[in-house]
Amino acid sequence: MPDSSFREIRDLALFSQMADENFSALMRGAYVQNFPAQIELITEGDPSDFLHVVLSGSVDLFSAWNDRETSLATVRPISTFILAATIKDALYLMSARTLEKSRIALIPSQDVRAVFDIDGNFARAIVTELAQCYRSVIKAQKDLKLRTSLERLANYLLRQQRRAGGAASFDLDFEKRRLASVLGMTAENLSRAFKGLQPYGLEVDGTRITITNQAEFERFAKPNPLIDDGST
């Protein structure tokens, strides 16, 4: 593995406090691979052979059943995904594919479990990350069950605006069809939701979003840190 990738992984909270010798042992069997867009990395139902770390690009976590498919989350650098399956030595509950050209480190799951058993700092970091994942699931459920489709879209756009630096105009980070899936809507309902937000200060030009009246838009959306703050 290149030294630069080694350092990127080491700086993650998951790995930063573990003993040097244990980190070296963990990296011994790891490798980095470059993937083009739309490559399926893992398939739900398969054994969790590797812990994946997204170093660049982005990854869609999704699930499919009975000819239907839904996007569950987007993984951005630098972060791991589906840690729980690795620790439990369980089958993947989700599939994953690249959304764009991506650089991903693969760490053998058996090595992760072996170091988990002997490195207390690493074990505590894993518990912390799994707790954060659990809280994210609860927030996503609250967003889905307590908000209307307009409120879900409005708060998603406010979160995207913050990620883009806070400017009034910004771009959606993926196509509208996938956004509809992420928000639990059909494409038709998403289109209606965009139109429904226009009276509150929203302008849409393709994937370009402009919030013309920030105060009015936020009054309608009512962002809630217990749902929308991804850092807690």
Alpha-carbon span 105 to 53, nearest angstrom: 5
From 102, 118, 143, give the residue that closes a domain: 143
CATH of the domain at 31: 2.60.120.10
* pTM for the full predicted model: 0.85
CATH of the domain at 208: 1.10.10.10
- Shared domain check, 186 and 168: yes
- Shared domain check, 97 and 159: no
- Shared domain check, 36 and 136: yes
From 112, 143, 174, give the residue that closes a domain: 143
From 123, 143, 163, give the residue that closes a domain: 143
- Shared domain check, 155 and 137: no
- Shared domain check, 33 and 138: yes
Please, what is the average pLDDT of the chain?
Answer: 94
Alpha-carbon span 162 to 211, nearest angstrom: 12
Domain tally, the chain: 2
Question: 194 is in which domain, residue-wise?
Answer: 147-228
Per residue in 188-216, pLDDT tens? 999 999 999 999 999 999 999 999 999 99
Per residue in 139-187, pLDDT tens? 999 999 999 999 999 999 999 999 999 999 999 988 888 899 999 999 9
